[in-house]
Amino acid sequence: MNAHPNTIRHRYPLLCSLFLLLSLLLSVPAQAATPVPHFALSSVTDGKTIDTNAFRGKAMLINFWATWCPPCRKEIPSLIALQEKYSAKGFTVIGLSTDEGGSSLVAKFVQKMGINYPVAISDNATPRNFGNILGIPTSFLVDKEGNVRKRYDGYVDHETLERDLLQILK
């Protein structure tokens, strides 16, 4: 019985070429860091302005999230722990809620969860300025020079966040 010409054996060179191309594309070095987009938004807990300019010289994790989002809620204890452990070393988490229910809803959630970092409700321009947030949670790790070093689309485990944070706090 003769093998059909479209068997995997006959497609092997093509598959190898595709794999090599994909490997090369994935191994391209990251682009140079880009400056964190500026925003100035009101805190949901005290109404004070959360302004990226006020955090110059600090590392930041800017987290877009919502109270109704299960992966966002799962990330919060990790963000609280990072804030607690590294704030004295020049780090802060900034939560930017995408909720549409108003600041009182988010403020109650912040209190209930014991969130220890600044939280504001995002305006429409801020997610666009960060490169179009398509889903939440989405977070950006910013170094002390104000450059975005990492973008995380979706839930990120504590170990990954802490490892990456330690790299920029060196």
pLDDT digits (tens, 9 = 90+) for 48-80: 999 999 999 999 999 999 999 999 999 999 999
Question: In the predicted model, what is the mean pLDDT of residues 6-20?
Answer: 41
Q: Is the pLDDT of residue 94 over 50?
A: yes
Question: In the predicted model, what is the mean pLDDT of residues 29-37?
Answer: 71
- Split at pLDDT 50, 70, 90, the class of 6 is very low
Among the listed residues 162, 55, 164, 165, the one whose alpha carbon sits nearest the alpha carbon of residue 117? 55
Tens digits of residue pLDDT in 36-49: 999 999 999 999 99
Query: What gap in Å lies between CA 107 and CA 116, rounded to an integer?
Result: 12
Question: Under a CB-based contact definition with an 8 Å cutoff, are residues 94 and 61 in contact?
Answer: yes
- Split at pLDDT 50, 70, 90, the class of 33 is confident
pTM of the model: 0.80
Task: Match domain 34-169 to its CATH number in 3.40.50.10490, 3.40.30.10, 3.40.50.300, 3.40.50.1360.
Answer: 3.40.30.10
- Cβ partners under 8 Å of residue 42, min gap 6: 48, 49, 50, 103, 120, 121
Per-domain residue ranges of the chain: 34-169
Query: What gap in Å lies between CA 147 and CA 144, rounded to an integer?
Result: 7
- Cβ partners under 8 Å of residue 45, min gap 6: 107, 110, 111, 119
- Cβ partners under 8 Å of residue 157, min gap 6: 78
